Amino acid sequence: MPEPASPVTFPPAFLWGAATSAYQIEGAVREDGRTPSIWDTFSHTPGRTADGDTGDIAVDHYHRYRGDVALMAELGLRAYRFSVSWSRVQPTGRGPAVQRGLDFYRRLVDELLTHGIKPAITLYHWDLPQELEDAGGWPERDVAFRFAEYARIVGEALGDRVEQWITLNEPWCSAFLGYGSGVHAPGRTDAAASLRAAHHLNLAHGLGVSALRSVMPSRNTVAVSLNSSVVRPVSQDPSDLAAARKVDDLANGVFHGPMLYGAYPQTLLAATSSVSDWSQVLDGDLAVIHQPLDALGLNYYTTTLVSASGEASPSGRRADGHGASPYSPWPGADDVIFHQTPGERTEMGWTIDPSGLYELIMRYTREAPGLPLYVTENGAAYDDKPDPDGRVHDPERIAYLHAHLSEVRRALTDGADVRGYYLWSLMDNFEWAYGYGKRFGAVYVDYTTLARTPKSSAHWYGRTARTGTLPPVDA
């Protein structure tokens, strides 16, 4: 009879949390001085989101936050990563703060601390104030300086009680899905503009780090969350390896190059030379962007499989998992074919590959030694439904979490400095252009009544958070 497997146990200080973002959960889009963001405008534009869904109400977290925090505490979570709505705090993207907007986040932070839950703030999760987009948006340099002003405002208001700060969430999506393929707000389709946006997001990050540190206690930590891709070639043929390098530069190097190493990859500049001359990079910018970080956040869902091709193949390009559009989010990479990776998939159509999370963690362990890591997003969408008794069983999500957390533990064993894990997402919510059709939450939300029901995975994950040990999948 085989010996039972040893339990998968994490260090006592490992931080167990869940994550959300403002536009996806808050609602109350016209209350207390808040003005439209690009996602308000985008979601109200016919044809942009599934079924015309918007975040006007979302899951009404703005009014139900106390109950949501109590639920987190009941589940045993020790940390909560949330984002601040820029247009709730600084409605035009310029000038003084609206205190009623800041007061909501003050109340939320106080509620979290009262329940022993550590708050982690993300300053930007894709919801640019519409007035800044009307002035040109992220392709315009001025927005980076407006972001620094906003960062200073929020840091001054909450830096005495919040120790973990993240400047940007997944700037790749902001730049390339927002301004390249157009499947995210603001829905523009201009390859050159997407590269300008990427640089100005980098600049905003650097300026934001400096702004936060100028107004906050030195004990606070500042990080960024990147959806760094694990890019694999279909073969070891030199042309396929070159295709993988090109996509790796566009997915990863465009952000971690200047942020972590102070330079854009030369291979990126060469590959995109037909799209941009990179004149948006001014003297001194790279030094501003290259701020020392206290940690790096990694968001991981699936892997990317590519090959080279001498012929453009729109259908192949769309197998990148980033939504349907005739426009590519990969500037300068029209000769690269994206393949659907084999294996079991989530409701998003994304292949489940836990090994990719290990690979990603170990990459940054090698390439950025000494920089602590957090998994700031990881999770899966499934077609969850209540049973006749109102319970929501989601064994697929439990299996997904067990497999991915096992890979995090393997990385720790192999020397990675991973400090925590934030499940995406705390509860079902507005899933961007997919509307309310994709459920990532550990907590089920009835979108008619807005009642919250913890799924089986929420109880399983809560037990993990309380004990630091992964329960069996069938627990």
Residues involved in catalysis: 170, 377
Strands ordered across the beta sheet of 230-233: 230-233, 303-308, 336-339
What is the amino acid identity at position 125? H
Please name the helix (run of DSSP H) or strand (run of DSSP E) that holds residue 304, with its range, or none.
Answer: strand 303-308
- What are the structure tokens assigned to 307, written together? 């090959």
The number of angstroms, rounded, from the C-alpha of 125 to the middle of its chain's C-alpha atoms is 7
What is the amino acid identity at position 220? N
DSSP H helix total and E strand total for the chain? 17, 13
Indicate the angle between helix axes 61-75 and 99-114, nearest 10 degrees.
Answer: 20
* DSSP H stretches of helix in 377-424: 395-413
By the 8 A CB rule, do 453 and 391 touch?
A: yes
What backbone phi and psi angles, to 5 degrees, belong to 320? -85, -5
* DSSP H stretches of helix in 322-441: 355-367, 395-413
Q: Which residues contact 123 (CB under 8 A, 6 or more apart)?
A: 83, 84, 86, 147, 150, 151, 154, 165, 166, 167, 168, 208
* DSSP H stretches of helix in 177-303: 191-215, 238-248, 254-256, 266-271, 285-289
* Range 30-33 contact pairs with CB under 8 angstroms and sequence separation of 24 or more: 31/62, 32/88, 32/98, 32/100, 32/101, 32/103, 32/104, 33/88, 33/91, 33/98, 33/100, 33/101
CA dihedral of residues 94, 100, 104, 110 (deg, nearest 10): 110
The Cα-based distances of 399 to 16, 328, 335, 402 in angstroms read: 18, 33, 37, 5
By the 8 A CB rule, do 259 and 203 touch?
A: no
- What are the structure tokens assigned to 275, written together? 């799209």
By the 8 A CB rule, do 179 and 139 touch?
A: yes
